[in-house]
Amino acid sequence: MIKAPTGTRDILPEDVKTWQRIEKTAGEIFTLYGYEEIRTPIFESTSLFQRSIGEATDIVEKEMYTFKDKGGRSLTLRPEGTAPVVRAYLEHQFPQRDQFQKFYYIGPMFRYERPQKGRFRQFHQVGIEVFGPNHPMIDVEVIAIQWRIFKELDVSDLKVKINSLGCEKCRPGYRKALIEHLKKNRERLCETCQRRLERNPLRVLDCKNPGCQQVVREGPKITDYLCNDCREHMKKVTDGLESLKIPYEVDPFLVRGLDYYTKTVFEFIHTALGAQNTVSAGGRYDNLVEELGGPEIPGIGFALGIERLVLILNEKGLPEEKKPLYFIPLGEEAIKEGIKIMEELRDSGIPVIWTGKVASIKAQLRQANKRGADRVLILGESEIENREIKLKDMKEGREEVIKWKDLKEHLRYYF
Ligand code: ATP
Ligand code: MG
């Protein structure tokens, strides 16, 4: 019997609900921040990834699905989403229209890796790319977006790690100090890292081998080598995170598996995921657009691994979706006032349903219950008189009386 290729998986109907929920939540949150979806091809010219990700990275050295098509072109199944989006941004002359752009994408990526829990050969990412701004508060916003996605899906036990990889001014100084340190400890490094040492020493920081990690931790910290500009940038990012009460940890040894990052890099770690515990990651890439043949335009982005988020949600269960309110008017006067109240609520995006049924409170409550309402709004004569409305929690039976003028503000808590 033919089976799905190693490292790929079918997403069966019973799992699709979780996937759709993640896609919907992420899409809505991206829209909230002004991001627009972009869809790029599944395969690209191989050189796009060689030039952007870096020749001496694991991805380009050994993980790419590269093939020649019948016309002899070298093509590669995309291993990540950033380079294709940059390519499209340049190809369609976005910089000439407006350098400031916010994109999001969703879809499969391909890497020839050793399959294991949370690691596949075809996996899926949702991600964003921002072009134009170099303001550190955009870095904060990009981190806040991820934070909001996890919050919305009720995922806790998350740790945000951040670091700065410096820029072309200060990174060489760190690189030199790192090479010196690694050379002194060469015999303690794994074979791959011994090879990486000269070609791409920062890659050693990302090695999962405990021996190599120990050597790295005894070595120089990039945060001690940052130039004033990069140091200030980092300070503004951490200050911004604090002002939003997003807990973070500076990890001076954090690097990413791709060479194009500058300044801010970050990872969202889920403490219960085991070995593959990074759910979402990214950073700033101020030179990438230029390196791919465009003008000097800074950028920043992240990619979130959907399979890993599905793992978390499967263990914890999906949070209940917010259900619309049901409006229960008692009498003609209540309907007349209620139609205005409902319109105002919908104006601020609060979903509220009136079935149109004119019936006793008992019958209307029964109907709302049958439709799975969490909360109902009850408007009777005495409430109208006091310009109030009753909010009833259907599960707990709790009732609150709220002034009309406070209703929107009050309901904002639930929606
Ligand atoms: P890792 O260190 O786990 O290999 P990475 O540094 O290669 O991750 P990125 O290229 O930054 O990861 O991708 C961002 C996110 O995409 C990761 O944090 C992870 O959630 C997900 N991801 C990356 N590679 C895979 C894979 N092979 N299978 C499943 N998810 C993946
Ligand atoms: Mg990887």
CA of 49 to the centre of ligand 2 (A): 15
Lowest average pLDDT, out of 33-42, 44-53, 316-325, 400-409, goes to 316-325
Q: Answer yes or no: is 30 within a domain.
A: yes
The band of 50, judged by pLDDT with boundaries at 50, 70 and 90, is very high
Range of the domain at 78: 13-170+226-316
More confident residue, 273 or 111: 111
Ligand 1 pocket (Cβ < 6 Å) reads: 80, 111, 113, 118-120, 123, 125, 256-257, 276, 278-281, 303, 305, 307-308
Proportion of the chain above pLDDT 70, given as a percent: 100
Cα torsion through 23, 29, 32, 37, rounded to 10? -40
Considering Cα of 29, then 22, then 396, then 389, what sign does the dihedral take? positive
Same domain for 270 and 366: no
Same domain for 329 and 307: no
Q: Answer yes or no: is 4 within a domain.
A: no
Kindly tell me if the per-residue pLDDT of 123 is higher than 80. Answer: yes
The mean pLDDT value for 236-254 works out to: 97
| pLDDT value at residue 168 | 92
The mean pLDDT value for 199-228 works out to: 93
Domain endpoint, select from 316, 349, 370:
316
Domain endpoint, select from 274, 293, 316:
316
Which residue in 114, 143, 111 sits closest to 124, CA to CA?
111
Number of domains in the chain: 2
The band of 181, judged by pLDDT with boundaries at 50, 70 and 90, is very high
The mean pLDDT value for 127-144 works out to: 98
Instruction: Report which protein residue has its CA nearest ligand 1's atom 19.
Output: 305
Kindly tell me if the per-residue pLDDT of 244 is higher than 80. Answer: yes
Same domain for 255 and 163: yes
| pLDDT value at residue 200 | 87
The mean pLDDT value for 294-310 works out to: 97
| pLDDT value at residue 97 | 93
CA of 279 to the centre of ligand 1 (A): 8
Q: Answer yes or no: is 178 within a domain.
A: no
Q: Answer yes or no: is 217 within a domain.
A: no
The band of 381, judged by pLDDT with boundaries at 50, 70 and 90, is very high
Same domain for 52 and 80: yes
CA distances from 10 to 121, 242, 303 (A): 13, 41, 22
CA of 111 to the centre of ligand 2 (A): 8
| pLDDT value at residue 191 | 92
Q: Answer yes or no: is 23 within a domain.
A: yes
Supply the CATH number for residue 394's domain: 3.40.50.800
- Choose the residue to mutate in 78, 105, 123, 265 for probing ligand 1, maximizing ligand atoms within 8 Å of C-beta: 123
Quote the pTM value.
0.84
Kindly tell me if the per-residue pLDDT of 415 is higher than 80. Answer: no
Same domain for 338 and 296: no
Domain endpoint, select from 316, 348, 379:
316
Same domain for 309 and 332: no
Kindly tell me if the per-residue pLDDT of 272 is higher than 90. Answer: no
| pLDDT value at residue 56 | 80
pLDDT tens digits, residue range 339-373? 999 999 999 889 999 999 889 999 999 999 998 89
| pLDDT value at residue 260 | 87
Same domain for 298 and 160: yes
CA of 206 to the centre of ligand 2 (A): 9
Q: Answer yes or no: is 213 within a domain.
A: no
What's the mean pLDDT when you consider all of the chain? 94
Same domain for 240 and 116: yes
| pLDDT value at residue 95 | 96
Same domain for 356 and 312: no
The band of 6, judged by pLDDT with boundaries at 50, 70 and 90, is very high
Q: Answer yes or no: is 182 within a domain.
A: no
Find the farthest-apart pair of alpha carbons in the chain and give their distance in angstroms, rounded. Answer: 86
Phi-psi category of 166—alpha, beta or left, where left has phi over 0 and alpha has psi -120 to 50? left
Same domain for 333 and 312: no
Environment class of 33 (CB within 10 Å of its CB; exposed 0-12, middle 13-18, buried 19+):
middle
Proportion of the chain above pLDDT 90, given as a percent: 87
